[in-house]
Amino acid sequence: MLGLLLILSVSLSGEVVLSNVVDDRCTAPIASDNDELQFEMNLGFLLCEYFVCSATGNSSDQFDPSLAAGGPPPVGCQRGNFDPLYRQAIEEFGLIMIRHLKDTAKALKGRAIPRPLLNISREAIGSFVNTAFGRQLTPAFDPYAAPDQHAIIAQVTTYTAALFLNGATARILDPDLRLLAASLLGIRAGQNAVFRGRLY
């Protein structure tokens, strides 16, 4: 289990790191404050839909239709097979994500980005996990089958988001936006600790 967590964390954080590398001459600032927050919103939408869908069976559109800013609904939205306590925690986390996305969209100086097309289907997440292992898992990994499976993916995604925000907090120049990023980081790190604690 721990091995899987590490592999997934590394493979996901690798993408975040790579997306910020410009080239080997990299000297100038590589992203504006808005770029940083828009990137964070992409991760936020993923977390939001993963939480809200798995807790309720409905996407965030049922809670706030304006949140997606015209973006397409997530593919593969599915209610998880959770005990009541876990479901309640995940729904709360989903509602927190909706709040964070609204706050971030409001704080952005430019246009709020629409929700990207997200494929959070069992099959898409299962094939991501196969890639992390380098082979086809049998039975196929299903994040909606039980809380522990769900928590593995939640651990990786909240960790990635916290890692990104940790860097963004240092890079963002505007004091208000930096404060926002720091507050998102605090909550994301707390969420990550919940999943990590559950998996140990």
Ligand X SMILES: *[C@@H]1O[C@H](CO)[C@@H](O)[C@H](O)[C@H]1NC(C)=O
Site for ligand X, rule CB under 6 A:
56-58, 62, 75, 79, 119, 121, 123-124, 127
CB-wise, 88 or 119, nearer to ligand X? Answer: 119
CB-wise, 55 or 187, nearer to ligand X? Answer: 55
CB-wise, 79 or 109, nearer to ligand X? Answer: 79
CB-wise, 32 or 121, nearer to ligand X? Answer: 121
Q: How far is the CB of 10 from ligand X (least distance, A)?
A: 22
Q: How far is the CB of 176 from ligand X (least distance, A)?
A: 35
Both tokens assigned to 150: 């769900």
Both tokens assigned to 50: 């993963």
CB-wise, 57 or 197, nearer to ligand X? Answer: 57
How far, in whole angstroms, is CA 186 from its chain's centroid? Answer: 14
Instruction: Give the integer Cα–Cα distance in Å for 116 and 111.
Output: 14
Closest residue to ligand X, based on beta-carbon distance: 57
Q: How far is the CB of 159 from ligand X (least distance, A)?
A: 23
Q: Nearest 10 degrees: CA dihedral of 10, 156, 5, 22?
A: 0
Q: How far is the CB of 46 from ligand X (least distance, A)?
A: 14
Q: How far is the CB of 141 from ligand X (least distance, A)?
A: 12
CB-wise, 81 or 127, nearer to ligand X? Answer: 127
What phi and psi values does residue 179 have, to the nearest 5 degrees?
-60, -40
Residues in the chain: 200
Q: How far is the CB of 76 from ligand X (least distance, A)?
A: 6
